[in-house]
Amino acid sequence: MAKSSNKSVVPEAREALNKFKMEAASEVGVNLKNGYNGDLTSREAGSVGGQMVKKMIESYERNMK
């Protein structure tokens, strides 16, 4: 049986990750709500994920200096 990939290694990080996701969604104009967001289009969901990755890369690059 495969291990679930939805479980956080650090459960306390879930709240911070959700806050980060909401901020990224707001920045790209996607209206996320707490709980179920299965009604989002693929484009909207991809925009949120892409914005999160962009912010993570920017943060990593700032911390390398």
Each residue's pLDDT, cut to its tens digit, for the chain (65 residues) gives 555 566 667 878 888 999 999 999 999 999 999 889 999 999 999 999 999 999 999 999 999 97
Distance, C-alpha 14 to centroid of its chain = 10
In this prediction, residue 26 carries a pLDDT of: 97
The structure tokens listed for 8 are 């956080």
Please work out, in degrees rounded to the nearest 5, the angle formed at the alpha carbon of residue 48 by the alpha carbons of 62 and 64: 10
In this prediction, residue 32 carries a pLDDT of: 94
pTM: 0.76
In this prediction, residue 20 carries a pLDDT of: 95
b/e string for 42-52 if b means 16 or more Cβ within 10 A?
Answer: eebeebbeebb
Helix axis angle for 13-27 and 42-64, nearest 10°, is 110
In this prediction, residue 60 carries a pLDDT of: 96
